[in-house]
Structure 1
Amino acid sequence: MAEGLYSGAMTLFRRDKSRIVEPDQALPGRPDPLRVSPSHAVYPDRQIVPPFPDGTRTAVFAMGCFWGPERVFWKVPGVYSTAVGYVGGYTPNPTYEEVCSGLTGHTEAVLVVFDPAVVGYADLLKIFWEGHDPTQGLRQGNDTGSQYRSAVYYADDEQQAAIESTLAAYQREIARAGYGKITTEVAPAGTFYYAEDYHQQYLSDAKNPHGYCGMGGTGVSCPIGLGVRED
């Protein structure tokens, strides 16, 4: 048994993070979700888990380490709530350590609950595109691995159309600035697995008032409003 545990640990350590794990090689996970506090650390009267208020919608963005992006989104007027978690992989209810091993296929992501009467989905996409470098493949800055890949997951056809139109527009702009092809994963929204409680609103004053999570965009503006349809 000890030899088997050691072998498994070494497999995690040696995992090639230059590619996404195949489904049949992913970790098995567990049937029960990780437990999180239902209240938002910045807005204690708001929930980070369903049910959400009538009229709100959800969006899921992956921009590298999820701490910084979550803080950006919870400050946006019209955003009701945010949470961090794992999406786009194969392992049910993964832990942070498992996701970081590269053996679950997930990427770190932010769930954004927003009021479309106040902030449009295209406005959130503008923040997404400009808030990181979407051309870096399985990394973001110095953070390397499939868990840091750029991704955006759509809830319906309307969101998919908005993603595709803004991606095309942003690709033109960053190409002019000398950047390569956007590598962002675009896919239907699957299960959002909530990350451990200590990750939720990690950079809030209540948890880590002096915390740091570097975010680096391209410095290129996404041309929302210049031929790009908004919600």
Structure 2
Amino acid sequence: MTLFAGALPGRDTPISTSDRHAVNNESLHPPFPDGYATLVLGMGCFWGTEQLFWRVTGVHVTAAGYAGGDTPNPTYEEVCTGRTGHAEAVLVVFDPKQTDVEILLQVFWENHDPTQGSRQGNDIGPQYRSTIYVTDEAQLECAKRSADVYQQQLARAGRGDITTEIKPLDTFYYAEAYHQQYLEKNPGGYCGLKGTGISCPIN
């Protein structure tokens, strides 16, 4: 049984994507340097989210993709139907010696509205939900703790409950080549990122 009734069947082979990052020319695909860690985050449309994180000190590489759903190797068009279960998400590969999960999560919480459920601003649908997909137990505990801290801040400001999905990463599927580093290739492109204006003091 799938999480989303009527999930699309997808395909056995990955869809075509980019090999290298358009900003720093690093490989988008593993193996990544020894000791580096990965985290997958969804904040609505992945174009602005990816740009946000490739600018963070200590981030090695980012990639746009799909995570948290049931359909294997989905296309963008399939994800947009809401019938794959996936969220638009960004793979963040980082050097723990230069940054840490708490810093990345602070950037995450402060740059979107995590209380909106299956939408982010004018972008409506389950693919735009707020998500944190972790790759180890320490990240999971840190994500849950940061959510508790930020919920307290939101409540003090009269905001609603956090709806962010926090769970271990199953599979990250790379998005099509034209989505990778989209705002680097299209500087005037759409970016729907908008925070609440409320800080997250998790550090």
- The RMSD of aligned alpha carbons is 1.0
Show the counterpart of 2:22. 41
Contact kept? 2:79, 2:85, Cα under 8 Å: yes
The yes-or-no answer on 1:187 pairing with 2:181 is no
Show the counterpart of 1:93. 73
Secondary structure of 2:139's counterpart equals: helix
Distance 1:188 1:112 in 2: 15
Q: Describe how 1:63-212 pairs up with structure 2 within 5 A.
A: 63-204=43-184, 207-212=185-190
| Cα deviation, residue 218, structure 1 | 0.6
Cα shift readout 1:140-179 (whole Å, capped 9, x = no counterpart): 0010000000010111110011001110000000111111
Contact kept? 2:3, 2:69, Cα under 8 Å: no
| Cα deviation, residue 214, structure 1 | 2.0
What 5-or-longer segments of structure 1 have no aligned partner?
1-20, 226-231
Secondary structure of 2:61's counterpart equals: strand
| Cα deviation, residue 110, structure 1 | 0.4
One-letter identity of the residue aligned with 1:176: R
Secondary structure of 2:183's counterpart equals: coil
Cα shift readout 1:46-70 (whole Å, capped 9, x = no counterpart): 1111111111100100000000010
User: For the structure 1 residues 156 and 77, does the alpha-carbon distance in structure 2 shift closer, same or farther, using more than 3 Å as the test?
Assistant: same
Which of the residues 223, 227, 231 maps onto 2:201?
223
Cα shift readout 1:8-49 (whole Å, capped 9, x = no counterpart): xxxxxxxxxxxxx844410000000012121100011x1111
Contact kept? 2:112, 2:194, Cα under 8 Å: yes
One-letter identity of the residue aligned with 1:38: D
Distance 1:188 1:143 in 2: 25
Distance 1:172 1:37 in 2: 40
Secondary structure of 2:50's counterpart equals: helix
Distance 1:138 1:132 in 2: 13
**Greater RCO (Cα-Cα under 8 Å, separation 6 or more):** 2
Distance 1:24 1:164 in 2: 28
Aligned residues: 202
Contact kept? 2:151, 2:161, Cα under 8 Å: yes
Distance 1:55 1:43 in 2: 19
The percentage of aligned residue pairs carrying the same residue is: 60
Larger Rg: 1
Show the counterpart of 2:191. 213
Q: 4+ residue stretches of structure 1 with deviation over 4 A?
A: none
Contact kept? 2:4, 2:83, Cα under 8 Å: no
